[in-house]
Amino acid sequence: QAGGYKVNYSQLSRYSAIISWIKQNKIKIIHLVRLNLLKRLVSHKIANALNLLHSTQAVELIKIRIDPTILISDFRRRQPRFDKYKKRFIEDFKVPFLEVAYESLVAYFDKEIEKILKFLEIDKIGPLTSDFVKVNPDSLEDIIENYAEVKQVLTNTEFENFLM
């Protein structure tokens, strides 16, 4: 039997009792990360605009505008933050830890689920499915209103691959 809950980085900072509880109960941590920080930003903006994180029904496509002047500094600030928390999970919490990339989970669902179940020491009982549907299309050009500006800023930087 397994249970779980979602904790945001900011909650770990604000509520130190969470960390103690995790350590005392030898909780296993699955750290779901989004490697493409541009898609993470787009998803966040759309979720806020629609007031919707997940859906079991198709959602009307909306376009969002991104301030291209903040992208590089935002990405450079976020990556070390993710690395910092990963290090804390492993070194400070000293509990079993598994990092799963959202992109891998979507692309290789069965393989990633198998890895997660093994980590949680749960026998696979049959095919696992979900009623959730994708809220955002894969093409950033279809979502970002000022895609040309964003592309211009990210081209020839270490973040250019986020445009894919």
Predicted TM-score (pTM) of the model is: 0.80
Residue 125 has pLDDT above 80, yes or no: no
pLDDT value, residue 137: 67
Q: What is the DSSP string of 107-143?
A: HTHHHHHHHHHHHHT----S--------SS-S-GGGT
pLDDT value, residue 54: 66
**Distance, CA of 129 to CA of 137 (rounded, Å):** 20
Average pLDDT (144-157) is 96
Lowest-confidence segment of 79-88, 95-104, 112-121 by average pLDDT: 79-88
With vertex at residue 135, the alpha carbon angle to CA 130 and CA 136, rounded to the nearest 5 degrees, is 130
Lowest-confidence segment of 71-80, 96-105, 118-127 by average pLDDT: 118-127
Distance of CA 76 to the CA centre of its chain: 17
pLDDT in tens, 105-118: 988 988 999 999 99
**Distance, CA of 7 to CA of 5 (rounded, Å):** 7
Q: Which DSSP helix (H) or strand (E) runs through 24? A: helix 16-24
